[in-house]
Amino acid sequence: MGFVGYTGADKMAGTKKEVPTQMKLRYAISLTRDSQGIYSLAISPDGQELIVGFGNGAIQAVNPVSGTPLRDVFSGGVSRQATTCLCFHPKDPTHLISVGAEGIVAVYDTKTGKCKATVTEENTHLYTVDISADGGTYATAGSNRSIKIYDTRTNQVINVLEPADFVTSGKELKPIDGHTRRIFAVRFHPEERHIFVSGGWDDSIKIWDKRMSNEARKVIAGPHICGPAIDIKSSKILTGSWVAKNALQIWDFRKSTPEKNIPFRPDKDHGEFIYAARYCSSDVIVAGGSGTNSVQAINFKTDTMLGEINLPKHPVHVITTIHDGQHIAFGGGGGNLHIAYLN
């Protein structure tokens, strides 16, 4: 393990801040749990722990302030597949849900390291999980195109939003039908506990009511989602597409219409190609992927770049943020974890 780039300016979360003008690197940490890289990240609601998921299934806790590895939550193994997504219960900083490419849903107590429950979804690779703002339900999705809704207390499936079935049914496909290709992101609305959005390879964002069975409430056509690149803030949906240009966009949640393209500086030879995007503060978003092998912070109200941090020779797979930009974590190939902040 090595630390690089400590700035010495470690502001505590929760303090009142001016409008940020720059993204700065706090640490670059070489984690050695797996050479395949980092595929998932989650910061606990109290900001005390950063959980890292690796390509060999390992899950490790890191202190986001000091950059110090704390303990293994799950040790993984050479025969295990990637831990593809992690999320915390919004009201319990010890309650962690993980999903993996083996189709396994696992629930951990991060303080004790105990796995409290596991569920296996057969015949699918799971890529994404998110929990509702009230903590009552969570949703999983992946390669089989269905979305399963679980009760958080029992970890039992309470609803399944089925994929589009236009082959066997013979019916004409409608935009409000389920997804036709792999799903890489689900994201609950932060203020409406029954509403969430999903996106993947079929170039559409579906807006769902979790109580419905087969039809989306609304559809946004266009975004090509290949990772955790959907976020919601108030009535605005942020999307990052794996495309060469105009990859970063904001959409009106109520109207399902585009509001603006956000200028993401492309690599001159490889374009933009975004895997991950998140709101970071009231004015700032962060995004990154395989076009630039970097994360960029952008003030989306002024279209001003506030900084760029590179992952040398590796794509950015995942980004997570908390506390109005006091913790920005991202990672990708090679096991390189970066922790930054807005100043």
The predicted pLDDT at position 18 comes to 65
In contact, 2 and 285? CB cutoff 8 Å: no
CA distances from 39 to 85, 288, 295, 322 (A): 7, 13, 15, 18
The predicted pLDDT at position 153 comes to 96
Buried b / exposed e along 110-126 (16+ C-beta atoms within 10 A): beeeeeeeebebeebbb
Report the alpha-carbon distance of residue 52 to residue 85 in Å, rounded. 9
CA distances from 44 to 49, 63, 244, 278, 324 (A): 5, 10, 33, 16, 14
Q: How many domains does the chain have?
A: 1
Domain enclosing residue 27, as ranges = 3-342
Report the alpha-carbon distance of residue 225 to residue 242 in Å, rounded. 6
Report the alpha-carbon distance of residue 293 to residue 313 in Å, rounded. 7
The predicted pLDDT at position 243 comes to 98
Give the DSSP letter string of 90-113.
Answer: TTEEEEEEEEETTSEEEEEETTTT
**pLDDT by residue, tens only, the chain of 343 residues:** 333 333 333 333 444 456 678 999 999 998 877 667 999 999 999 999 999 999 999 999 999 999 999 999 998 888 889 999 999 999 999 999 999 999 999 999 998 889 999 999 999 999 999 999 999 999 999 999 999 999 999 999 999 998 987 665 557 788 889 899 999 999 999 999 899 999 999 999 999 998 876 789 999 999 999 999 999 998 899 999 999 999 999 999 888 889 999 999 999 999 999 999 999 998 999 999 999 999 999 999 999 999 999 987 899 999 999 878 889 999 998 878 999 999 8
The predicted pLDDT at position 86 comes to 98
Report the alpha-carbon distance of residue 187 to residue 16 in Å, rounded. 28
Report the alpha-carbon distance of residue 54 to residue 28 in Å, rounded. 16
Indicate which CATH number applies to the domain containing 79: 2.130.10.10
The predicted pLDDT at position 168 comes to 54
CA distances from 118 to 79, 84, 122 (A): 18, 15, 13
Instruction: Give the 3-state secondary structure of residue 65.
Output: coil
Record the tokens describing residue 63, joined without a space: 């202190």
In contact, 76 and 70? CB cutoff 8 Å: no
Residue indicated by tokens 């409000």: 176
The predicted pLDDT at position 224 comes to 98
Report the alpha-carbon distance of residue 87 to residue 186 in Å, rounded. 11
